[in-house]
Each structure stands twice: as C-alpha cells, then as structure tokens.
Structure 1
Amino acid sequence: MKPLLRRNGFWLALSLVLCLISGIGASFVQTAGGSVTIKDMRWETRSGHLLSALLFKPDSATAERKAPAVVVSHGWYNTREMQDLNFVELARRGYVVVSIDMYGHGNSDYLPEGTEAVGGTGMYDAVRLVSDLPYVDASKIGVSGHSFGARAVNFSVAEDNAAPAPLIAAALLVDNDPTYRDPETKQYANIYGTRDVGLIQAQYDEFFFRSRDADGNVVTVPRDYPSTPNAQSFLHFGADPAQVTDKRVAGQVYDQNGAMRVLYSLNQTHPWGHTSATAADRQIQFFQQALGAPNPIAAGSQVWQFKVAFNTLGLIGFGIFLVAFAQALLGTRAFAGLRNTAVAEAVPTTRKGLAWFWGGLVVAAVVSAFSYVWLSQRVDDFAPAGLPQEAPYFIGLWAAVNGVVGLIIMALAYRLFGRGNGQDLRALGVLPGWRAFFHGIGLALTVVVAAFALVFVVDYFFTTDFRLWVVAVKTFTPDKIGIALLYLPLFLIYFFANSLAINSFNRFTLRGKEGLNTAVLVLFNSLAPLVLVIVQYGTFFVTGDLVDGFGGIYSIWLFPVVVILAVAAVVSRKIYRTTGNPYIGGFINAAVVVLISVTNTLTMA
C-alpha cells in the first residue's frame, strides 16, 4: 500500500505542477512577457444587458499615444477564449483588443431566440465601450468575428450605419458570408461603405459559401466560392456581378476611393480557423494594412501556438488530477473504507469469452455510429420545450441511448455467458450495496469540486484555463451548475454503463496483458465518433461537400467527443483498480463532461 501511495503522490504532485506551469506559461505568452495588461470585464451595456469580455491593453497604448483597437468574437457554441490566436497576436503588435462572450455565451447575459442582433449580439456594445477608452484612437476601430461572430460583424456594421457618428473603420469576417444584398431592395449593394473589409473563407466550410438554385440544390461548393457572383460582388464593392467586366481573385487587395476589399480563400475547414496559423497571418496582414500597427511584426512571426501548448499542459494536468486526487482521498479517514486492496487481477479470456468481448464491442460501436446520425436528423422530435442549451441535450441524449444499449448487452452477456462461468456481480462491483455506492459518489463529488477549484485558482491568478481547441475546461458562473444538473442524468446513464462495461465485464488480459485490454477499450470507446469524422471529412475533401443528411455541426461536435471518451476510459479504469467500484469513475466522468458541455456552448433565455 505504501509504494502505491508514494507513486500516487508523484502523480498528484505532477498534476499540480503541470497546472501551475500551464497558468504561468500561458499568461506569459498572452501578456507578451508582461507588456500587455489583461482585464476580465463584465458591464451593463447600452443595450441593457450584461456583457463579458477580456480586455488586452498594451503598455504602449496611452492617452498620449492612442492605439488602434480591434473587437474580436468567437462563433456559435463557443466563448471568448476561442479567439486566443487573434488576441495574442494583435495585442503584442500594439492593438488594444477586446475579446467578447457574445450574448448567450460564456458569462454574458442570455437573449431570447430571435433577438441575437441586439447590440450586434454584444460586439457593437463592445465597440461603443472601446471608443470611449482614453488610450484608444476612436478613428481606428476594427471588428472581427468567426462564424456567428462574423454575423455579429454584419449586425454591428448595420448598427454603425444607423449611428450618428460611425465608429467601425475596418471589418474582417471569418468563415461566414458577407452581406451581399440590401435587406430592403434585395439588390446587390455595398452595405460596408468606405470601411476596409476583408473575408477569410474556408474552402471546406461545413455551413457557408455555397450557391444554390431556386430549388435549394447546391450549385457551387465552398472551394469554388471565389468565382461565384456573391464573391465577385463583394470584391467589386457591391456591384451587380452581371455588370462587371473583370474577374477578381482571392489574395489580391482591391482599392476603391481609399477603401479596400480582400478575400483570403484558405484550404481548411470551418472550425480550423480557431487554430490556423494561416488564418492568423491573414488577420494580422489585414489589420496592419487597414489600421496600421503600433508595433509592426511580420505576420508570419506568431507565438500563440506556445499558449496552446501551455493550455494543453494544464488540460493534461487536470486529467491526471482527477485520478491522482481520487486515489489520494482513499488514504484519508473519510474515504479509506472505499479502498479495495482485494480487487481481482484481470484474468485471461476463454475463446467463448473473447467472442462475447469482441462481439459486444463491435455491436456497441455500430449502434453508437448509426444512432448518432439518426438522432442528428430527428433530435427536434425528442427535445422537450424550455431546455436552455441544445448541444448538451443532443450529446446527452445520444449518450443515454448508448448507455441503455450497453446495459442490455451486458445483461445478455451475463445471463448467457458470465453467470455460468463464475462471474459474481458483487465481486465485480456491479452490486456494491447502497452504502458503498453513495460513499463512492461522495468521493467522486469531492474530486470534481476540487478539480474545478483548481481551474478557478489558475484563472484568478493568471486569467487562463485548460484547453486544447474545442476541449476546454474553464471557469463558469453559478447559473451553469443549475443547467448542468438538468443534463447530468443523461450523462450518468452513459458513463455508469460505460464504466461497468470497461471494468466489470470487459476487464481481461489480452495476450497476457491488461494494458492491451485497456488500449482496446480506449480505442472502441472513441471508435464510432472517429469513424464518423473520417467518413464525413473524407467525403467532404473528395466531393467538396458533406455527407447528405449528416449536418456539419454534428460532425464538429464529435471532435471533443473522440478525445473525451478515450480519456474517460482511462480515468474509470485507473480508479476501479484501487476501489473495485465502477460508479466512482463513472460519476467523475459524467460530472466533468456535463460541466465542460454547459460552459462552452450557447444558452438561450
């Protein structure tokens, strides 16, 4: 027992060290070595709503040397931290940068559906604030947004057009269509006026940049966008494309009466814009040309990748902490009774046992893949009214369906094979007794609270979180706990069933090695979503468009699922080996995943 505690002490210490290095390193990068001050702001805007944002103020921006400013925004189902490549690179070049949580996202107020344009869904409200800052040159304010954030740019330009004194000098849309036609006349028009405007367009965009015929059929796919009438009208400053005589191309800057238009067509997907050095390069080029740069640095010289690396270290540390702290608690008086030193070693499988093992895994993976696509086409038929978040409900519903299927497979395997071959449900932890069950839930809840307390501490001291692209563990406001409780039962069904399958029914040695068994289970836990991603994007890259009937947002949601399910298998296995209780790891996984889900998505009032 003592050697085990010593080993666990090393892992617990390592997890804390990784989280500390993550906070220090990510903070050093995003503050440009301490020369940029970061403020976490929440304020009541002119629209009458609470807006959350991060303000990045370079030391070079003063009342005597006013700096240009850029307001940046994430897309639908994301938060302000997803703009890190832009706020890191722009701030170190001397721009004042504000990265917002659009209304309905992160820590900002919710809005009723259909009112998203209010205050440019937060962007134009942030522009108003920025224009009053004493160290900002109010004649040089730019806006940029990804996906729905680009739509926020369009909302903001429309509000700015109606303002007595327009504030926006430059606008960059990322992975969403510009406004091509006048909303009233429906004719091609230049709604951007004399502003400098750029567009970053993904050639494999899951949602935008398609041309359709009168029946809604796709005529041109995103990779053909630059040659379309819409793109030509944009590059010709709103002219009717039928009346222009020259064909304008991507990558070329076009000037008219001192205003510029430019289209950057990039060989990437829609969400790739969050982690694309090429997209960051074009963003830097655009604003340096449109607003000038107080601290000119070559666009290709980028450091945001180091922040990503430090954030990833924190995410790894967070995952290690879940296991190491759970095992550390087993050495305390409160939870010592949960330690089970008599957990049986994994045993070799028989030929019939292997048949059930592989057969169950294959059936579960097939059901998982088909149920995901099927539910994506029919989720509205099963959605209760009044749920505030769409994404956690869909993922939770899919998870619960697969949890039930897993329970059925396990029940059949036990009845037809396990019971007759010596499987004991109590010895396997399937039936631990109510006292042990709730005692284990108490330990799991303590672990989850401690893990997120670690996240809050790092955020308090360094204004950073733990993330890798769309897998993000961040702080949250208290209302998110209530929302998480709405969806927690769905996730519990799956993760309890998943932990039972991994530890109580499928824990064998393969070729004499339990580690090989664990690796196989990790693979199969993520296999269905991984295959769906490969099929979707393989089809996309070959044909130029998505699999018919499989919506793009549902394939994007699978990216974090692939990672989370693989890690969840390891977490539950590690904790089971010292407790013999599959429900502890199941609860930890469910609670962590539901909190990650509800804090990184859209909430509607």
Structure 2
Amino acid sequence: MKQSAARTLIAGCILVLVGSLLAHWVQTSGGTRIEDVRFTGDNGQTLSALLYIPANASADSPAPGVLAVHGYINSREVQSGFAIELARRGYVVLALDQSGHGYSDAPAFSNGFGGPAALRYLRSLDIVDPDNIGLEGHSMGGWTVLAAAAAMPDAYRSMVLQGSSTGSGRALPGTPDWPRNVSVVFAQYDEFAPLMWEVPRGSDVADSEKLQAMFGVDDAIQEGRVYGSVPAGTARVLHNPPVTHPGNHLSHASIGHTVDWFALTLSGAQTAGVTGQIWFFKEIGTLLAFVGFVVLLCGAIKQFIQFPTFAGLSGAPINTAWTQRNGKWWLLAALSMFIPVAVFYPVFSMAASMLPASSWFPQSITNQIIVWAVVNGLLATALGLVIKAEAVSFKSLSWFAAARFALAIVGVGYLALLLADYFFLIDFRFWFVGLKLLSLDQFQNMLIYLPPLLVFFLLLGRALHGGLSVSSDTVRQQYLSNAMVLAGGFAIFLLAQYISLFTRGLLLTPAEPLNTIVMIQFVPLLVIISTISTCAWRHTGSYVPGALINTMFVGWYIVAGQATQAV
C-alpha cells in the first residue's frame, strides 16, 4: 500500500512538472517573455491580462501590438495559441480577461467588455508601436474588440473576427468602411451561425447578406479573396475553416489566417527564421499537467489515509450492491447514464429563469449547473429506490475528520497549481477545459455554491457506490464502470450531436449552441469526478470523503472558470 501510494504521488508530480516545463518552453519560445498584468479600466474596473513580449520589442524599437480576446465563459489562456504564434513573429500581444471573466472585475458585459480600456493600455506601452495595432477576438471577444474599435476608430489598423460578427445586438453593424481592414474567420461547423451571420449553417456564411453588406458586395463572397484596399482601411477577407465554434482555438488554419492577415495589414514584425506553428505543444503540456493533477490527488488519498491523524478513515469497501452484472444492473446503469442528459437542456432553461445571476448567486452558468446537479442527485436517489439492489453498508466515520482529509487532498492539488502558476505562468487545461487559481472574489463566490454541490455529491456517491458496485469487478473495472455511468451518456449524446453537425451542418438541438458547448466540459469533468470518488471509496469504505473532495474541486473548477454577471 505504501509503495503504491508513493508511486502514484511521484507519477503525479512528474506529470505536473514535465507538462509545466513543456508548456513554459513553448510559450516563451524565441525569447518571448510573459507578464501577468493588471490595469485600471473604465469606471475604476480592474482588468487582467497576459502580456506576451517578444525579444525584439523595446522602448528604443517598439513592436507592433495585438489585442487578443477570448469568448464568453473563457479566459485569457484560451487565446494562447494565437498569442504564442504572434509573439514568435515579433508582435506584443495583450491577451485580455474580459469584464467579469478570469481575474477582471465583474460584471461581465460591462464597459465594452473591457475592450476600449485594454486598447488604451496596449497603446500606452512604450514597447508598442501605436501606429501598428491589430485586434483579434473570438466569439464575444470579437464584440470586445469591436467595442474598442468603435470607441477608438483611429487607434488600430486591422482586426480578425474569429467565430464572431458585427451587429448581433452586441456590436455596431459592419459597413464597407467599418471596421477597418477586417478578416472574418468563421468555421464551416460553427454552432452560432444563425446568431452571428444570420445563416443556418457556418458553411453558408459566404451567402450571408449581413456579411456581404460589410464587404460591399451583393453576391457570394469568394473565400480567401481580399476585397477592398489595405491602405484605405477597407480590406476584407473571409476564411471558412472546417472546424467548430470553439474549434477555432485548436485550428492551425484559423491561427495561420490570423498570422497572415496581420502580416499583410501591420508592419514591423520580425518573422525571419520563424516557420510553422508550435502552440499545440503548449496544449499538450498543460493537458499533461492536468492529468498529473488528478493522479496527484489520487496519490494523496492513498498516502494521507495512512497518516495517524486520518487513521479512523481507513478501510476497504464492506460489500457491494451486485454480485455480477445482470439485466437489472444494465437497466439501472443505462438510466443513470441518460437521465442526466435528458434533463440537461430543460433544467438549464428552467434554472436560467428561476435563478438568474444576483448578488447571492452571481454566476449565471454556475447557477444552472447547481440546479441541474441537485435535480439529478434527487433523481439518482429515487432511481435507486425503484430498482433495488442488495443493501450496502458503508464505513461509519467522523465527518470532521473526513472534511479535514478532503481539505488536505484538495490543498495538495491547489499547491501544485499555485507552484505551476508562480514558476511557469500556466494553468492546468486542454482547450477551454481549464483549472485556474481562484481570486479572492471567486473564493467568496465558491463558498456560496458549495452547499448545493455537497448535496449533489453525497447523493451521487451513495447512488454510485451503493447502487452500482459489483463484487466481481477488478480495480480497473471499478474505475471504468463508474466513469462510464457518469460520463458515458454525455459522451454518446455529444457524439450524436457532432455527427449531425458534421454531416448536416446542424446540431440535433440547433437552438442550444451555448449549452451544447458547455456540455462538452461535462465529459472530462465527470471522468475526473468518478476517478476521485472511486479512489476515495476504495480506500475509506465510505462515499463521504470522495463527495467532500469533489465538492471542493468542482466548486473551485466551475467558479474560477465561469463569467460573473453580478456583483
């Protein structure tokens, strides 16, 4: 047992360290330096950003600058692919946390999303050439840079709208003269095509009358053709890469189009000797670190349970609900997999109107998640009462000791992220699935959301280990079975959703693009939850420690990664 715990701990530490080193090496390639900056925006709002400074930029030799902005319920790190490649080519890049996102003050959507203030800050840097400024934004980040362009029409030379649009109720309408020198990179399978460009499918964007009005034409736009004039500020180009709305971040084509557009419309970049794209290795690095984080938590569970202070928690599972899988087990497992999916959209819709963002519950998406969680905890319990298995007894333990144990486990993970941030300026993530450090405001908000999350994880843990455990399972089968039950339904449904999108150009639920993208995070998150819960149950004989650990972890993950709409 001791050797197994030590090996797991060491493996977790190695993965975190190797992943962090790889990510840091990639994002500082070519001598790029990264600074975590704060500056004051409109109405006293504090805004947060990562500033990528290439080796060639100095006060004596200012470099062209780019303001890069993420989309809704994301953060500055999601723009790292664009920032890394632009910085490698000599651009100073300011990757902004929009208002109410990341470490920028709430509320979201306020003060032009933070865009005008960010553009002023970028222009104020003595290492930036104020006559060579580009703007790049994804989704709502596009509306952020459009707000900056509207507020300061002479303060930039060109922009790239990634999966975004003019108008749409959030920005000024596009015209042949505004915005200045704009590239539209809109994915063929973008889930938001009707909202952004008023066409049913992303592949139809060239026929969008709204886009044609901005290009100054009245027929289909030719992809890749530059319309208008760069010196006159009227240049326009459309690219339609074969990815999804969030897929722009993981697209070499989308990032390449951005690099090419700024090379055409800005001057002063230092591109000699820079070829290809390396940003994806940073994604691999932060993914390795995230996997290491989960392994580290499991190692800490195994190790800490051996400490005298937690000796009362130690114990093996006493019994299981089933001796082997039969028809009733598979029925219960199938219902447990697909009921949470079936109620996902209806409960999210209900929660949006029933529990809007307020001073008590300030994050809209988090509010929807906790309502869904409590509903599904109750449904899981009811399901176990209808389809009954053998009664399972759990180890009796001290709740106070279990809480201290959970706090210690999560503390180990938080320390790992704190060190990775301090030494390497990274978080743990892949794509938009990211684990970030909490700000003080976010920590206070997390405390509000912990009680309903605890209810969910207690009910879920009891239903999972008390209703679906099988005595004949090996250790590996226990982990795989629990992961399948929690995450399998979402994985299967999302596979069907995106098969539909890639074959027909439409989701099965075309009216639910945002919640479908939110659902993507549920798959890896539920796998992590099942892993932590199973590990804790196997080593304590109770579902309570795992429920407490998951409550803290998920509360941290969600609140740090979501937009805050109220203060």
Q: Deviations over 1:320-361 (max 9, x none)?
A: 111111221122221122111x544769725xx733322221
> Do 1:211 and 1:228's aligned partners in 2 also have CA atoms closer than 8 Å?
no
Q: Deviations over 1:430-482 (max 9, x none)?
A: xx25xx23311220112112211221121011111110112211112111112
Paired residues for 1:49-448 under 5 Å: 49-111=45-107, 116=109, 118=111, 120-161=112-153, 166-179=154-167, 189-192=175-178, 195-209=180-194, 220-236=200-216, 241-242=217-218, 247-256=220-229, 258=231, 259=233, 260-292=235-267, 294-296=269-271, 301-340=276-315, 342-344=316-318, 349=323, 354-383=326-355, 386=358, 387-414=361-388, 417-418=389-390, 423-425=391-393, 428-429=394-395, 432-433=396-397, 436-448=398-410
Residue-pair matches, total = 562
Q: 1:206 to 1:534 in 2, by over 3 A?
A: same
Q: 1:439 to 1:356 in 2, by over 3 A?
A: farther
> Do 1:227 and 1:249's aligned partners in 2 also have CA atoms closer than 8 Å?
no
Displacement of 1:364 in angstroms is 2.0
Q: 1:553 to 1:451 in 2, by over 3 A?
A: same
Displacement of 1:363 in angstroms is 1.9
User: Residue 5 of structure 1 corresponds to which residue in structure 2?
Assistant: 2
SS at match of 2:185: strand
Q: 533-542 or 304-313, which moves further after superposition?
A: 533-542
SS at match of 2:44: coil
Q: 1:592 to 1:89 in 2, by over 3 A?
A: same
Cα distance in 2 for residues equivalent to 1:298 and 1:392: 46
SS at match of 2:188: strand
Cα distance in 2 for residues equivalent to 1:211 and 1:480: 31
Cα distance in 2 for residues equivalent to 1:411 and 1:183: 52
AA at the equivalent of 1:329: F
> Do 2:230 and 2:265's aligned partners in 1 also have CA atoms closer than 8 Å?
no
Q: Deviations over 1:15-50 (max 9, x none)?
A: 1122122222211111115x1111111122354210
Displacement of 1:514 in angstroms is 4.8
Q: Which of 434, 441, 459 is matched with 1:472 structurally?
A: 434
Q: Any stretches of 5+ residues in structure 1 without a counterpart?
A: 213-217
> Do 1:182 and 1:189's aligned partners in 2 also have CA atoms closer than 8 Å?
no
AA at the equivalent of 2:161: L
Cα distance in 1 for residues equivalent to 2:53 and 2:357: 43
User: Residue 38 of structure 2 corresponds to which residue in structure 1?
Assistant: 42
Displacement of 1:211 in angstroms is 8.8
Q: CA RMSD in A?
A: 2.5
> Do 2:301 and 2:536's aligned partners in 1 also have CA atoms closer than 8 Å?
yes
Cα distance in 2 for residues equivalent to 1:211 and 1:402: 33
Q: 293-302 or 257-266, which moves further after superposition?
A: 293-302
Q: Deviations over 1:197-217 (max 9, x none)?
A: 1111012222235699xxxxx
Cα distance in 1 for residues equivalent to 2:121 and 2:230: 29
> Do 2:487 and 2:527's aligned partners in 1 also have CA atoms closer than 8 Å?
yes
Cα distance in 2 for residues equivalent to 1:167 and 1:385: 35
Cα distance in 2 for residues equivalent to 1:211 and 1:141: 25
Cα distance in 1 for residues equivalent to 2:287 and 2:171: 44
User: Residue 530 of structure 1 corresponds to which residue in structure 2?
Assistant: 491
> Do 1:182 and 1:191's aligned partners in 2 also have CA atoms closer than 8 Å?
no
SS at match of 2:243: strand
Displacement of 1:138 in angstroms is 0.8
AA at the equivalent of 2:162: V
AA at the equivalent of 1:567: I
> Percent identity between the aligned chains?
27
Displacement of 1:181 in angstroms is 11
SS at match of 1:255: coil
User: Residue 562 of structure 2 corresponds to which residue in structure 1?
Assistant: 601
Q: 1:65 to 1:211 in 2, by over 3 A?
A: closer
Structure of higher CA gyration radius: 1
Kindly indicate whether residue 12 of structure 2 is the aligned counterpart of residue 15 of structure 1. yes
Displacement of 1:220 in angstroms is 4.2
> Do 1:377 and 1:549's aligned partners in 2 also have CA atoms closer than 8 Å?
no
What's the TM-score, normalizing by structure 1? 0.87
Cα distance in 2 for residues equivalent to 1:257 and 1:61: 25
Displacement of 1:409 in angstroms is 2.3
> Do 1:47 and 1:125's aligned partners in 2 also have CA atoms closer than 8 Å?
no
Cα distance in 2 for residues equivalent to 1:80 and 1:211: 22
User: Residue 215 of structure 1 corresponds to which residue in structure 2?
Assistant: none
